[in-house]
Amino acid sequence: MLKARLSKIALFAHMLVPLAFIAISVLLLNPQNLLVEDSQTFLDFSANHSLGYPVFLKLIQLFSADNHVISYVQIALFSLALVHISIGIFKITTNHLFGILSVVLLCTNPFTLDIHYKLSPDSLFLSLSLLMIGFIISAYRYANFLNLLGFGLSLGLCMVIQPYGLAYLPLILFVAPMVTLKNHCSLAKAFLLPALACLALTISEATMYKALHEGQDFRPATQHIYGNALLMETTQSSPYATQDPRTGIWEKIETDLRPVRTEIWGLETHEERSALLLKQLDQLKDSFAINAMTQASFLLDKSVDDIRMDIASSRIIQAPLAYFRIMIEHYRSIWKEPYGLSYVILIISALTVLMGLWMWITRTAFNGPFALSFCSAFGLQSHIFLLAHTGVGHAGPLVFLSPLIILMVIGLFFSFYISFINPLRTNG
């Protein structure tokens, strides 16, 4: 296999735009915009957050107590990710200009320009997401130890920085066969190396969390899943014994919330249903039957969240289609915001994922740019499904994940270009 090689001049060309991004970003840095709503909770190692970003902040503070240094580091890491993506795209297209133009689009993306200035995990999460995709396409080109390890580590870091990094986890199942088919490397190597690296990071973070927050659990999805289970269009009997305190809560759900469910699911339009569903979910998920929950928690020697998940799981098992309907309502409402092209992006990303899954099932080798597009589209769709199911995700996912949308679109364009206009002379 012919390998695309980088000269020193070419390497500098790939670094030029990210270096310019650093210079402009530092000049435009506004110290007044550094702190946002949850900034202090990350600095205080709050139990409401995973430990990835607080540890990142602590490491920076070992070298400087000036919080503005955090912004500089975030800008530098994002620029490093841009260089990695630029070189990765060059390797799968053998075209320097494609890599550089892709980075220009990423660093001038108006939706994410300001996140690097804020004391928030958003910037670091995006940087790690780009690094992860960069390692995937590099591994697709050449499945060596470094590329596979980098994929696993960046995936694991995404998961310990933000819980919705879990959306990327299924990529391991798809990337390993893709890489194996393209490079004829061992499937065990392509799967186990990134999987073990990711597992080591997540286990380490979970162990540190339990040691630091003894007796507390980090379960950000519990209330959302419980709230959805309360509002499912279904009538159910309690699976618990009559004397079990959860039976009383179950009966309260069936009687007290029946009019609410009837009103929600009696509405004709998605817009009306979604608005009322979200309103009721916000009101009920953490306060409904809280006194009975607390009493049941004491009697059963379980946490309130454990009781919530017991009840939610039982209701979902009895009526999975009713829960799936709520998920679809949430999924549709996410795609309606924030701009008119949302449904176009939905269709393109869904078709890209479906095409990629078909090629994966039929063991058809992707070209490099389509692998880039598939992984980006899959990451986007997986994030939206996770948010619809668990409520865990960014408040504005389509804006926040716009770099993935950019990579998906340019991947499709480059794939078409090298397939039909100017085919590669290598098998990259």
Q: Read off the pLDDT band of 1 (50, 70, 90).
A: very low
Between 375 and 287, the more confident residue is 375
The rounded mean pLDDT for the chain is 90
Q: Read off the pLDDT band of 136 (50, 70, 90).
A: very high
Q: Is the pLDDT of residue 72 over 50?
A: yes
What's the rounded Cα separation, in Å, for the pair 236 and 340?
Answer: 40
Q: Is the pLDDT of residue 330 over 50?
A: yes
Please tell me the predicted confidence (pLDDT) of residue 149. Answer: 97
Q: Pick the range with the lowest mean pLDDT from 234-243, 272-281, 304-313.
A: 234-243
Sign of CA dihedral 62, 64, 66, 67: negative
What's the rounded Cα separation, in Å, for the pair 39 and 382?
Answer: 27
Stretch 249-268: mean pLDDT, rounded? 93
**DSSP 3-state of 110:** coil
Count CA atoms closer than 13 A to 310's CA, side-chain side: 19
Count CA atoms closer than 13 A to 282's CA, side-chain side: 6
Q: Pick the range with the lowest mean pLDDT from 3-7, 20-24, 93-97.
A: 3-7
- The dihedrals phi and psi of 360, each to the nearest 5 degrees, come to -65, -45
Closest CA to 75 of 34, 134, 133, 135: 34
Please tell me the predicted confidence (pLDDT) of residue 54. Answer: 96
What's the rounded Cα separation, in Å, for the pair 287 and 169?
Answer: 32
What percentage of the chain carries pLDDT values higher than 90?
Answer: 69
Q: What SS3 string covers 319-385?
A: CHHHHHHHHHHHHHHHHCCCCCCHHHHHHHHHHHHHHHHHHHHCCCCCCHHHHHHHHHHHHHHHHHH
Please tell me the predicted confidence (pLDDT) of residue 386. Answer: 96
Closest CA to 92 of 55, 64, 134, 125: 134
CB contact burial 214-228 (16+ within 10 A = b; e otherwise): eeeeebbbbbbbbbb
Please tell me the predicted confidence (pLDDT) of residue 428. Answer: 42
Q: Is the pLDDT of residue 426 over 70?
A: no
Q: Which two tokens stand for residue 395?
A: 């408040």
Please tell me the predicted confidence (pLDDT) of residue 4. Answer: 57
The identity of residue 343, as a single letter, is: Y
Q: Read off the pLDDT band of 354 (50, 70, 90).
A: very high
pTM of the complete model: 0.92
Cβ–Cβ under 8 Å, residues 280 and 326 = no
What's the rounded Cα separation, in Å, for the pair 315 and 238?
Answer: 9
What's the rounded Cα separation, in Å, for the pair 273 and 278?
Answer: 9
What's the rounded Cα separation, in Å, for the pair 196 and 183?
Answer: 21
Q: Is the pLDDT of residue 427 over 50?
A: no
What's the rounded Cα separation, in Å, for the pair 380 and 221?
Answer: 19
Cα-only R_g, the chain: 23
CB contact burial 338-372 (16+ within 10 A = b; e otherwise): eeeeeeebbebbeebbebbeebbeeeeebbbbbbb
CB neighbour class for 406 (10 Å; exposed up to 12, middle 13-18, buried from 19): middle
Please tell me the predicted confidence (pLDDT) of residue 424. Answer: 65
Cβ–Cβ under 8 Å, residues 79 and 21 = yes
Non-local CB neighbours of 255 within 8 Å, separated by 6+ positions: none
pLDDT digits (tens, 9 = 90+) for 17-59: 999 999 988 887 765 668 788 888 999 999 889 999 999 999 9
Tell me the CA distances in angstroms from 271 to 329, 341, 382, one per residue in order. 9, 18, 23
What's the rounded Cα separation, in Å, for the pair 399 and 403?
Answer: 9
Cite the DSSP H helix spans in 62-121: 68-93, 96-107
Cβ–Cβ under 8 Å, residues 58 and 211 = no
What percentage of the chain carries pLDDT values higher than 70?
Answer: 96
Q: Is the pLDDT of residue 316 over 90?
A: yes
Stretch 235-262: mean pLDDT, rounded? 92
